């Protein structure tokens, strides 16, 4: 009986969860990248190399015809270029593609290899294989990517993707922190200077950066099969960050679907978020030569058609899933909505939220304590009865 009590007490102790402290060092930020980039920068193109043979020409393949049609669609044109090469034409098959073919040893043609844009730092291909009709759809589009494009087209300077860890207190900490900073764009809550860079052309107060700047948050589950292609893109862009299990990742997307960078959990803090918001909302850069940085996503959207007001966003680019950005933290994690004492510092408040175990863990603890109490009472009753 006493052994059972000790065992259960040990289970309670091992069930307690502690949260890692957020890094206080701000990440180095590239030159300012304002919404000007949305109008000026054309999306970078992914490259598809299609290897075929005489028995299996490209023209007869339904999956590739679907991909080709998506690149030529006037409404949802895919930023992907196709190059077709006969497998016997060794002179036109580059060294990288030759290596991929050696490793893959394709049994079915046409065989397609999709590479990241040439100006990206990603060497490995995003996708390899025989393109089916289903894969043509999932590679080209997804609910989250569609919503990112819709929000940017409707005037947002950036869409922040929270790649969830699946650990409630970690995800909640970031949602709370990022929500507060987005809400206070243009005005520091502490009364200090705005985190958004000021205009330099003497504009009036109503045109001040941050006054009309809008950003939002989208939560992406790592288990969402509909977003497999999106998650693969992020995995290849920063594998060391994305491959850490049970850790959230924050990804700001701006301009015409460009990933600025990926923030791992230990770099997601108030300073880094505030600096990045200021960077993405800035308007004091050269409108012609402003630096384009980051990696483009593979998206099905005719940016020029929508910005020229020739197409209707809601009619021609309907949402594939509801992604409300007007969420309440109380609705997401009601058990975590506990405020720290007013006298506590901002850092203390963040640590208080981060250190609190998730609701499910607290329920388990309560059940274990109840069991221990019952066992103790039972052992006392047995002891008293044996004495009689």
234-274 pLDDT, tens digit per residue, is 999 999 999 998 999 999 999 999 999 999 999 999 999 99
pLDDT at 334: 52
Which residue from 243, 328, 273, 246 is spatially nearest to 22, judged by alpha carbons?
Answer: 273
Q: Which tokens belong to 341?
A: 């004492």
| 272 in the same domain as 217 | yes
Residue 147 domain-assigned (yes or no): yes
Same domain, 156 and 293: yes
What pLDDT sits at residue 22?
Answer: 36
Is the residue at 31 inside a domain?
no
What pLDDT is attached to residue 388? 60
Same domain assignment for residues 204 and 327: yes
Alpha-carbon distances of 198 from 82, 136, 173, 387, rounded to whole Å = 43, 44, 29, 83
- Helical (H) or strand (E) element with 123: none
154 CB contacts (<8 Å, ≥6 apart)? 313
CA-based nearest residue to 49, from 99, 109, 114: 114
Number of H-type helices and E-type strands within the chain:
15, 10
Residue indicated by tokens 């600096």: 275
- Specify the residue for token string 């958004």: 196
What parts of the chain have a pLDDT lower than 70? 1-37, 39-40, 187-211, 283-292, 325-362, 388
Q: Is 49 within 8 Å of 115 (Cβ atoms)?
A: yes
Which of these, 187, 162, 188, lies nearest to 176 by C-alpha position? Answer: 162
Q: Are residues 362 and 326 in the same domain?
A: no
User: Domain for residue 25, yes or no?
Assistant: no
d(CA 209, CA 229): 34
Return the pLDDT at 307. Answer: 85
Structure tokens at 362: 């607290």
pTM of the model: 0.72
Q: In this structure, are 134 and 149 located in the same domain? A: no
Residue 187 gets which letter from DSSP? Answer: S
The answer on 376 and 242 residing in a single domain is no
* pLDDT confidence of residue 3: 44
pLDDT in tens, 316-372: 999 999 987 666 666 655 544 434 333 334 344 444 444 455 566 667 778 888 888
Distance CA 348, CA 355 (A): 10
97 and 161 both lie in a single domain: no
Question: Hey, what are 319's tokens?
Answer: 């949402």
Same domain, 163 and 299: yes
Structure tokens at 2: 């006493």
Residue 274 lies in a domain: yes
Query: Is residue 364 located within the same domain as residue 299?
Result: no
Q: Report how far residue 266's alpha carbon sits from residue 249's, in angstroms, rounded to the nearest whole number.
A: 9
Q: Give the phi and the psi of residue 238 in degrees, each rounded to 5.
A: -140, 75
Q: Mean pLDDT over all residues of the chain?
A: 79
Are residue 270 and residue 203 in the same domain, yes or no? yes
* Integer-rounded Cα radius of gyration of the chain: 26
Within this chain, do residues 87 and 234 fall inside the same structural domain, yes or no? no
Lookup: tokens for 255: 């301009």
Q: Which residues, including other chains, have CB under 8 Å from residue 232's CB and lie 6 or more apart? A: 126, 127
Domains: count for the chain:
3
Instruction: Tell me the residue range of the domain where 92 lies.
Output: 46-138
Contacting residues for 343 by C-beta, under 8 A, at least 6 apart: none
> Which residues are bridge partners to 20 per DSSP?
none
Task: Output the domain CATH number for residue 74.
Answer: 3.40.30
Let me know whether 289 and 201 are in one domain. Answer: yes
- The answer as to whether 241 is a domain residue is yes
* pLDDT of the residue at 146: 98
CA distance readout (Å), 169 to 165, 290, 338: 10, 38, 12
Query: Rounded to the nearest 10 degrees, how much is the dihedral formed by the CA atoms of 301, 299, 35, 314?
Result: 40
């Amino acid at each position: 009986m006493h052994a059972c009590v000790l065992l259960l007490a040990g289970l309670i102790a091992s069930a307690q969860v502690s949260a890692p402290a957020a890094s206080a060092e701000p990440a180095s930020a590239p030159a300012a990248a304002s919404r000007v980039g949305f109008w000026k920068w054309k999306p970078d193109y992914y490259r598809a190399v299609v290897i075929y043979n005489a028995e299996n020409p490209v023209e007869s393949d339904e999956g590739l015809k679907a991909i080709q049609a998506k690149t030529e669609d006037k409404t949802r044109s895919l930023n992907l270029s196709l190059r077709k090469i006969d497998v016997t034409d060794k002179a036109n098959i580059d060294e990288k593609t030759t290596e991929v073919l050696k490793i893959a040893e394709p049994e079915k043609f046409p065989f397609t290899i999709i590479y990241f844009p040439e100006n990206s730092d990603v060497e490995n291909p995003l996708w390899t294989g025989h393109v089916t009709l289903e894969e043509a759809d999932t590679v080209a589009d997804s609910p989250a990517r569609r919503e990112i494009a819709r929000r940017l087209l409707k005037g947002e300077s950036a869409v922040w993707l929270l790649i969830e860890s699946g650990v409630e207190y970690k995800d909640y900490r970031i949602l709370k922190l990022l929500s507060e900073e987005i809400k206070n764009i243009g005005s520091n809550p502490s009364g200090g200077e705005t985190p958004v860079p000021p205009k330099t052309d003497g504009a009036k107060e109503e045109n001040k950066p941050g006054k009309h700047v809008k950003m939002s948050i989208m939560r992406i589950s790592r288990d969402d099969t509909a977003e497999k292609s999106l998650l693969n893109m992020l995995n290849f862009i920063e594998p060391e960050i994305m491959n850490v299990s049970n850790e959230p990742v924050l990804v700001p997307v701006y301009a015409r679907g460009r990933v600025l960078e990926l923030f791992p959990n230990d770099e997601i803090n108030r300073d880094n978020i505030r600096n990045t918001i200021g960077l993405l909302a800035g308007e004091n850069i050269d409108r012609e030569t402003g630096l384009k940085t980051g990696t483009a996503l593979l998206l099905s959207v005719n940016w020029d058609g929508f910005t020229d007001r020739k197409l209707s966003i809601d009619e021609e680019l309907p949402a594939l899933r509801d992604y409300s950005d007007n969420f309440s933290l109380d609705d997401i994690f009601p058990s975590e909505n506990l405020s720290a004492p007013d006298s506590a510092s901002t850092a203390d408040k963040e640590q208080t939220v981060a250190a609190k175990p998730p609701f499910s863990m607290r329920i388990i603890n309560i059940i274990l304590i109840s069991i221990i109490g019952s066992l103790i009472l039972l052992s006392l009753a047995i002891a008293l009865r044996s004495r009689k």
